[in-house]
């Protein structure tokens, strides 16, 4: 069981994503903004973050960059879950440090397969700052 932080300003998306993650046994914490997510991560770093791109005050890539700069932030699995589908958006997200990128609407089964795969990768020995090399 992993601790997963879901960051999305849409309560319906929070509900659905949280429901799917809980069904697979994960502990879920919600945040409606990037700032709230970073405050939660500073108190207790999650194992994974599911991150929207478009939110008030701070974009998902900016949240990811700031999370990665925090102590322990390099060991968190980060997935961008967004409606942004442009190639330049995907590239920008990966440059910001995400581990995976998935578009909304999404298949619950594919979503969980990707989450479990990310969690397995970051749980491996040597999965620290150089894991994306």
Tens digit of each residue's pLDDT (9 = 90 or more) over 39-96: 999 999 999 999 999 998 999 999 999 999 999 999 999 999 999 989 999 999 999 9
Q: How much is the average pLDDT of 123-133?
A: 52
d(CA 78, CA 52): 11
d(CA 76, CA 72): 7
Residue 85's pLDDT is: 87
3-class DSSP assignment, residue 128 = coil
For the chain, helix, strand, coil in percent to 5 are 45, 20, 35
Tens digit of each residue's pLDDT (9 = 90 or more) over 91-117: 999 999 999 999 999 999 999 999 999
Confidence band (pLDDT; 50, 70, 90) for 123? confident
Residues 41/17, Cβ–Cβ less than 8 Å: no
d(CA 70, CA 42): 8
List the one residue out of 28, 81, 16 whose CA is nearest residue 55.
Answer: 81
The whole-model pTM stands at 0.90
């Amino acid at each position: 069981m992993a601790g997963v932080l879901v960051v999305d300003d849409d309560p319906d998306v929070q509900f659905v994503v949280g429901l799917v993650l809980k069904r697979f046994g994960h502990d879920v914490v919600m945040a409606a903004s990037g700032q709230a997510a970073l405050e939660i991560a500073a108190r207790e770093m999650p194992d994974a973050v599911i991150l929207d791109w478009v939110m008030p005050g701070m974009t998902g890539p900016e949240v990811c960059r700031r999370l990665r700069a925090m102590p322990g932030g390099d060991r968190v699995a980060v997935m961008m879950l967004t409606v942004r589908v442009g190639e330049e958006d995907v590239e920008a997200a990966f440059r910001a440090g995400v581990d995976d990128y998935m578009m909304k609407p999404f298949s619950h089964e594919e979503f969980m397969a990707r989450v479990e795969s990310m969690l397995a990768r970051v749980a491996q020995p040597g999965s620290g700052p150089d894991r994306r090399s």
